[in-house]
Homo-oligomer: A and B are copies of this chain.
Amino acid sequence: MEKYYFSYREIHEIIQQKAKEIISSGYMPDYLLAIGGGGYIPARILRTFIHRPIVTVSLSRYDDITGKTVSIPIKQQWIDKISIDLTDKKVLLVDEVDDCRTTLEYCVNELLKTYDMELSIFVLHNKLKEKHGKIPDAVKHMFIGKEIENKWINYPWDALDITAHELLSERNND
């Protein structure tokens, strides 16, 4: 198998399971902070189990005009103390995958420039591979839904044909 095809059900189950572990550990954030685009769906599912308001920021690795990959992520939407004050709050950052770790590192560092808060991270998947970024020491908890191999991931929300995608995801599980 060269690529992963994950179904919505598998993803929901991973979040369902991990959320229970998080709650059992005694940790409870004040806010879920989705990193868009990848974090929107995991954060919304997570809210079913960890019932806290969702706030979002959005980063892009692509320049909309040139279509090229950029070395420093572009802030498509950001937050500041005027829009929402997260000072002294426990905030759980949510994203779909920890790949090279550079987006997470960038996002954490940028948020900590604005807010003095307790930051933790939840990622649905962590790819077991060499990381180019580092999780800053200030991060309190790093919660991982599932560790996976370093393969290309097809998430269900990116499926142009969901029926075909679900068939491929069933074959993955055989």
Contacts and interface: CB of A to CB of B under 8 A. Distances in A.
Give the oligomeric copy count: 2
Interface string A71-82: 000001111100
Interface stretch (A47-55, A119-127, A135-143): A47-55
A44 interface: yes
A37 B47 contact: yes
A90 interface: no
A101 interface: no
B80 A48 contact: no
A88 interface: no
B83 A157 contact: no
Contacts of A157: 12, 41, 44-45, 48
Given A56-B77, A83-B78, A166 B9 contact: yes
Contacts of A37: 44, 47, 54
Interface of A: 8-9, 12-13, 16, 34, 36-37, 40-41, 43-45, 47-49, 53-56, 58, 60, 64, 76-80, 83-84, 156-163, 166
